[in-house]
Structure 1
Amino acid sequence: MQPMSLLITTCALFVGSHLLLSHPLRAGLAGRLGERGFMIVYSIVAIATFVLIVQAWRGMPPEPPLWAVDDPLWILASLLVLVASILFMGSLIGNPAMPAPNAAAAAQAAPRGVFAITRHPMMWGFTLWALAHALVMPTPGQIVLSATIAFLALVGSAGQDAKKARLMGDSWRHWAARTSFVPFARQVAGTTPWGDALPRGHALFGGIVLWLAATWAHGALGFMVAGIWRWVG
């Protein structure tokens, strides 16, 4: 199999197995195996298919970039990763989409910070991270990998909406009615004040720290120098 075909195949396996186990197959398998047994199977499949992607990625030959990458594009990508980091850190506290015992209670709170931006801040963070990588490493292989991550994040979020509505009922539907799937859709529509979307402290400062650490590690581990480290030091 050609390297690109292998990469596409492994990405399809990763996405397909994740979506199947997360939604149509979950109830049946969890009923037979128990929740703990299901999570073990889910984790094994996820890790195995991810390892296949890594191996396929490592086997890709050098590819010429599809467009020139200059400083303005690096600045845009760096800002996208910063926003992604803020969304990710903000999603870790008070998120009704997380499998936590207090999810229903969290859904009763007024959406503020990253949740006023989108009810799926973690998944949009992954999407922006993938987009940033495609912008500054515009090879066919990287675009396939970035598209895989973004597709899984956004389609998984849509599936999560349906699953949470079944599990949480009116609590989730009430939360969904006061939030948006697409970032800033409610602000643009004029139904939510822009001030509500200002990130809270843990999201803003945690996101900045994560961004600085991750972009520093990018260069320190031998990959391309990223973030502000391209221009300082």
Structure 2
Amino acid sequence: MQPMSLLIVTGILFVGSHLLLSHPLRAPLADRMGERAFQIVYSVVAVATLILVVQAWRGMPPEPPLWVVDDPLWALASLIVLFASILFMGSLIGNPALPAPGAAFAAQAAPRGVFAITRHPMMWAFALWAFAHALAMPTPAQIVLSAIIAVLALVGSAGQDAKKARLMGDAWRHWAARTSFIPFARQVSGITPWGDAIPRGHALAGGLVLWLVATWAHGALGTMAAGIWRWIGG
């Protein structure tokens, strides 16, 4: 099998198995196997298919970039990753989409910060991270890998809407009615004030730290310098 074909096939296995086990197959398998056994199977399948994707990506031959990546494009990609980092850190506190006992209680709060931007800030963080990497490293292999991550994040979050509505009932439906799937959709439409979408302190501070550390790690691990380190490092 050609390297690109292998990457695509392993990507389909990774995304497909994750979505199937997260949604249509989860309830029947968990009922039959028990929740603990199901979680073990789910984790094994997720890790195994992810390893296949990583190995396929590493096995790709060198490829020329599809477009020139200059400083303005690097700056844009870096800002997208910074925004994604803020979304991610903000999603860790008070997120009704997370499988936490207090999810229904969190859904009663007024959407503020990253939750006023989108009700799936964590998933959009992954999708934006993938998009930024495709911008800054525009090889066919990287674009396919980024597409795999983005599809899993966004299709998975759409499936999460349906699952949460089933599990949480009116609590989730009320939350969904006051939030948007697409980032800033409610602000653009004039439904929600832009001020509500200002990320809170833990999201801003945590996102900045995450962004600085993650972009620094690019150079520290021997890959290309990223973020502000691309210019600071000279």
- Shorter-normalised TM range: over 0.9
Shift of 1:32: 1.1
1:41-56 to structure 2, matched below 5 A, reads 41-56=41-56
TM-score by length of 2: 0.99
Displacement of 1:35 after TM fit?
A: 1.2
Q: How does 1:182-197 map to 2 (within 5 A)?
A: 182-197=182-197
Partner of 2:16: 16
Letter in 2 for 1:210: L
SS in 1 for 2:224: coil
Match of 1:108 in 2: 108
Partner amino acid, structure 1, of 2:32: R
User: Deviation of residue 167 (structure 1)?
Assistant: 0.1
Shift of 1:173: 0.1
Other-structure match for 1:93:
93
Query: Counterpart of 1:210?
Result: 210
**Match of 1:223?**
223
Give the corresponding residue for 1:147.
147
Shift of 1:81: 0.2
Distance 1:35 1:224 in 2: 42
> AA paired with 1:19?
L
Residue 167 of structure 2 corresponds to 167
In the TM superposition, residue 86 of structure 1 has moved relative to its aligned partner by 0.1
CA distance in 1, matches of 2:36, 2:191: 41
Aligned-residue offset at 1:37: 1.0
Equivalent pairs: percent with the same residue?
A: 84
Q: Once the two structures are superposed, what CA deviation does each residue of 1:109-162 show, in whole Å capped at 9, x if it has no partner? A: 000000000000000000110000000110100000000100110000000000
Match of 1:69 in 2: 69
**Could you tell me which residue of structure 2 aligns to residue 28 of structure 1?**
28
Give, as a single letter, the amino acid of the residue that structure 2 aligns with 1:226: A
SS state at 2:192 partner: coil
2:125 alignment partner AA: G
Distance in 2 between residues matched to 1:24 and 1:143, nearest whole Å: 28
1:58: Cα distance to partner? 1.1
* Distance in 2 of aligned mates of 1:140 and 1:221: 23
**Code of the aligned partner of 1:130:** A
Q: TM-score, normalised by structure 1?
A: 0.99
Aligned partners of 2:137, 2:97: CA distance in 1, in Å?
Answer: 32
> How far does residue 36 in structure 1 lie from its aligned partner after superposition?
1.2
Aligned-CA RMSD value:
0.5
* 1:48-89 alpha-carbon deviations (Å, 9 max, x no partner): 000001110111000010000000000000000000000000
CA distance in 1, matches of 2:207, 2:58: 29
- How many equivalent residue pairs? 233
The residue identity in structure 2 corresponding to 1:232 is: I
Match of 1:5 in 2: 5
Q: Report SS of the residue matched to 2:232.
A: coil
Separation in 1, partners of 2:100, 2:206:
21
Distance 1:35 1:103 in 2: 19
Partner Cα separation in structure 1 for residue 154 and residue 195 of structure 2:
25
Residue 138 of structure 1 pairs with residue 138 of structure 2: yes
Question: Partner amino acid for 1:40?
Answer: I
- Residue segments in structure 2 that go unaligned for 5+ positions in a row: none
Q: What letter is aligned with 1:113?
A: G
- The aligned amino acid for 1:109 is A
Unaligned runs of 5+ in 1: none
Letter in 2 for 1:55: Q
